[in-house]
Amino acid sequence: MKERIYDNDAEHFKLQKELTLKEYKEMTSKKKKRNKYFNIKTEYKGRVFASEKEANHAYALDISKKAMFPSQRVSYWIPQVPFTFACGTKMIVDFLVLYADGRYEFQDTKGGEATKTAAYKIKKKLLKNEYSLDLKEV
């Protein structure tokens, strides 16, 4: 039994010697942890968004800049708007959207009910109570 372990160790050492340092590091590096909600980080116009849905919504907002009616036309939008509540809790809203008719709207992209966690629901209520802002889920 000891000889077999020794042989395996020797073969393993031989294999390591034949690999370049870069190859060895790639082979032994830890695998990336997958996202809890299976989001795929997506780049749009040089900005990396947390999900493909969020990037697609940014694209839709850019398209809305050409809308015919002022109530639908987006003047501009700001991504990742931070809020800090009195209790010290923080929340980042995905988009602040300003329309041509003067309205503004805070929007958060949600993939489904699974992403509406208890913490998210509490923060949404805090946003309403402390800042008097409604959060639209898209």
Q: For 88-114, how does the pLDDT look when each residue is reduced to its tens digit (9 = 90+)? A: 999 999 999 999 999 999 999 998 887
- Which of the four pLDDT bands, split at 50, 70 and 90, describes residue 18? low
Please provide the average confidence, as pLDDT, over all residues in the chain: 84
Residue 114's pLDDT is what? Answer: 79
**Portion of the chain with pLDDT greater than 90, in percent:** 65
Residue 27's pLDDT is what? Answer: 62
Contacts of 3 (CB under 8 A, 6+ apart): none
- Which of the four pLDDT bands, split at 50, 70 and 90, describes residue 132? very high
- Collapse the DSSP code of 33 into the 3-class scheme (helix H, G, I; strand E, B; otherwise coil) and give the result: coil
Q: What's this model's pTM, rounded to 2 decimal places?
A: 0.72
Residue 66's pLDDT is what? Answer: 94
Residue 34's pLDDT is what? Answer: 65
CA distances from 108 to 35, 38, 49, 58, 115 (A): 18, 17, 12, 11, 11
Contacts of 47 (CB under 8 A, 6+ apart): 58, 79
Q: What is the mean pLDDT of residues 73-86?
A: 96
Examine the pLDDT at 6 and tell me if it is beyond 90: no
Contacts of 30 (CB under 8 A, 6+ apart): none
